[in-house]
Amino acid sequence: MLVVESLSKHYNHNIAVQDVSFEVKEGETLVLLGTSGCGKTTTLRMINRLTEASSGEVYINGKSVFSEPAELLRRSIGYVLQNNGLFPHYTVAENIALVPQLLGWSQELIKERTRLLLEKLHLSPANYWDALPSSLSGGQQQRVGLARALAANPPILLMDEPFGALDPITRASVRKEFRELDELNKKTVVLVTHDIQEAFELGDRICLMDKGRVMQNGTPADLVFRPANDFVQSFIGRERFSLELKAVRLSDVWDMLATDTAVGSVELDSVKGTQSLWEAMERLSESGGAQAVAVYNEVTGERRKIMFPDIPRLLQQYKQAQ
C-alpha cells in the first residue's frame, strides 16, 4: 500500500504542489488528473524521489521512502514515461532486462521473464527480441516501456502520461490492453493524465488537482455524482454523459439487469460485473450486431443480460437511487 501524506514542493516562491495526500491500496489504480501545470508530474516524481519533496511523507507498505538511498528505492518502483524512455541503442530484450540485470538476476530468469512479458503485451518474442526501439511503432514502444517497468515485478508502478504520445486509435487499444493485463492485478498503480475520459476508464480512484492542490479525491462515481465543489463540476462539464456511463459498474445495477439470459441458441459475448455500463456498450458495438451481451458476476457465478436500450434506463435508475 502507498500512502502520500501532506506532500509539498516549492521552487523558491512558486508552489508546485501543496499539501497533497492520498492512499492507494494493492491492486488499485489512482489517477492524478488535471490541466497542464497543476502539479501532477511533480507529485508522481516525489514518490520515487526523482524530485525531492519540500515537506511531507511517502510510505510504501509502512516504510518511508526517505529511509533508503533513492537509487535503491527506484529499483522497486516501476516507472513509465510518455515518450517511453527506451535506450535507442539497446534491443527490446536489453531494454526490458535493465532492472533485473541491476538486481543481479540470473540470465536464464531474465530471458524467461522477458519472453513472458513480450507475450503478454502481444509482441512476439521471435519478431521483437532483437529489434531496436526505432523500428517499432509508437504503440509497440509504449508496450516495451511498460514491459521494462514491470520486468522486476515491482509492487508499485508509476506512469506519467503513458498513452499521451499515441494517436487516438492506438491509444484506445493500448489502454484496453493495459486494463486487461493480469500482471497489474496486484500492483499499486499511480497514473498521471490530463485526459478525463482516460482517468474514468482506468482509475479506481481519481485525485483531481488544480494549482498544486487536490480538488477532490474519490471514485469516478464520487466525482461525477457527488462533486466536492464548482471546480470539479465544471471540469466534468460537457463530457458528463460518457463519464457517468464509465462511473457506473454493472454490479451497481445488478438487480435491475434482465435475468433471462437466453437469446435463442446464440452464445452471447460476455462482460464482467466489475465492468462499466460504458464497457457493456462497447462490447455490444463490437459484437457484430448482437442484440445483447451476458453479464457475468465473478463473485456469485450468476449471469444476467444487458441490451442497448437498457443502458440509458439503467443509468437513470442508478441516479435516482443515489
Q: What does the binding site for ligand ATP look like in residue numbers (CB under 6 A)?
A: 11, 14, 16, 34, 36-42, 194
Which is closer to ligand ATP, CB of 14 or CB of 67? 14
Query: What is the side-by-side strand order in the sheet with 55-60?
Result: 14-24, 2-11, 55-60, 63-64
The three cell numbers of residue 322 are 443515489
CB 24, CB 186: distance < 8 Å = no
| 254 residue type, one letter | W
Kindly tell me which of 36 and 106 has the beta carbon lying closer to ligand ATP: 36
Q: Which is nearer to ligand ATP, 39 or 145 (CB)?
A: 39
Contacts of 94 (CB under 8 A, 6+ apart): 87
| Smallest separation, CB 205 to ligand ATP (Å) | 18
Please report how close the Cβ of residue 140 comes to ligand ATP at its closest, in angstroms: 24
CB of 17: closest distance to ligand ATP in angstroms?
7
Nearer CB in complex with ligand ATP: 202/277 = 202
Which helix (H) or strand (E) element contains residue 82? Answer: none
Cα–Cα distance measured from residue 19 to residue 53, given in angstroms and rounded to the nearest whole number: 11
Looking at the Cβ atoms of 10 and 115, the one nearer to ligand ATP is 10
Identify whether the C-beta of residue 203 lies closer than 8 Å to the C-beta of residue 29: yes
Beta carbon of residue 80, minimum distance to ligand ATP (angstroms, whole number): 15
State in angstroms the smallest separation of the CB of 51 from ligand ATP: 7
The least distance separating ligand ATP from the CB of residue 14, rounded to whole angstroms, comes to 6
Nearest residue to 269 (alpha-carbon basis) of 253, 249, 256, 285: 285
* Distance between first and last Cα of the chain: 30
Q: Which is nearer to ligand ATP, 42 or 251 (CB)?
A: 42
Residue 23 belongs to what H/E stretch? strand 14-24
